[in-house]
Amino acid sequence: MCQNISRSCKNLFFKVALVIVVSPIVYVYFEPTVNWLKSLNYPSVPKHDVCGDICINALKTPNQIQIAASSQGGDLDTILLIWMWPFGQQFDLGLCSSMYDIHGCHLTVDKSQFNKAHGILFHHRDINGDLSNMPKLPRPPFQKWVWMNMESPSNSRQRSNLNNLFNLTMTYRQDSDIMVPYGRISENTGGKKHDEIPHKNKLVCWIVSNWNSDFKRSKYYEELKEHISIETYGNHSNGRISNQDYSDVVSSCKFYLSFENSIHKDYITEKLYKPLSLGTVPVVLGPPRKNYEEFIPGSAFIHVDDFNSSKELAEHLKLLDQNDDLYRQFFTWKEHFVASASIFGPDQACHACDHIRRNKNYRVVNDLNSWYWG
């Protein structure tokens, strides 16, 4: 009997040992399915990896982004809220992509979008002195307030309550956060044929409505007209002219007086760019020639500072009138470049939105007054 028991013990031991040896082999070749594991309430994990806290958080990130996007209505565009129409002039809010090739921007004047807006655009001349027409709600921490001013310091009222209020500046100046000039000379990449010089039946023209006898331009004009004939238009002389009349008049003149109402660095307005685009040589009065040549070819214009007196300038213009070859040299730049004037409103709004979309860094304008008027 003891022998039989010993034999049974030996058989049991052999069977147990066999199970221990064979089980791993069976598991490798016949791995249990996930469903079977789930029925035993075991977690489903990768075969060779263990997902810790860092891994779990990483897996959650895409879902969190998706939830955040859906909470904003699915609109991933950068939203720029125009708080007041500049000078009350309304414009098409959908021009950014078609006119400037700026995408991912959404312009709005709907003030109920305040809390969602990534940026708010404020026009200096339309801000009340007591700030009563500024937002009353707390500003979201991500939101940028953009101070827009296209007027020179001489034509802008300084206010002490604008410091530490804005995040970005947008003006015609090169040292602005967002520089939007009054016009551009850009490379002719579209293959547009160089336009012929329009027919000229006038020598010198000037269109002026904002007349002030104390302005430098007014004093220079009074001197210049004593030496050469000048056709004048605008409220000060023959009355305001329409946009079409403007183009017809300016293109018919050999020279146009592109005189700025005040002298400041970079303050070079449409008074320069429009004549250039219409095939007329501008005679400029503004910042020094060097400043102009940062924006346009030096051979495209005449600067009053190039002459010792208004009489000397007049004599030079008369010489160019008599020498067609010399006159045509002012248009050689048009073989490779085109001139265009900015469109007030859309230019500023679209470029402000694009800047905010591309730049996420924090900034605050601590002393706006010293920077702009100082």
**Contact between residue 133 and residue 127 where contact means Cβ atoms under 8 Å apart:** yes
Q: Residue 226 burial (CB < 10 Å; 0-12/13-18/19+)?
A: exposed
DSSP 8-state class, residue 134: S
Task: Pick the catalytic residue from 151, 187, 231, 294.
Answer: 151
196 assigned to active site: no
DSSP string, 59-99: HHHHHHHHHHHHHTTT--SEEEEESS-GGG----TT-HHHH
DSSP state of 165: S
Tokens of 95: 């021009």
Q: Which amino acid is at 4?
A: N
Q: How many residues does the chain have?
A: 374
Collapsing DSSP states into helix, strand and coil, what is residue 305?
Answer: helix
Look up residue 74 and give its two tokens. 């699915």
Taking the C-alpha atoms of residue 289 and residue 277, their distance in angstroms, rounded to an integer, is 20
Q: What's the token pair of residue 298?
A: 């030096």
Phi, psi torsion values for 193, nearest 5 degrees:
-70, 140
Among candidates 174, 168, 113, 139, which has minimal Cα distance to 358? 168
Gap between the Cα atoms of 330 and 286, Å rounded = 19
d(CA 160, CA 224): 40
| CB 182, CB 273: distance < 8 Å | yes
**Burial (CB count <10 Å: 0-12, 13-18, 19+), residue 304:** buried
DSSP 311: H
Place of tokens 């579209």: 190
State the Cα–Cα distance between residues 17 and 7, nearest whole angstrom.
Answer: 15
CB 302 within 8 A of CB 326: no
Catalytic residues: 151
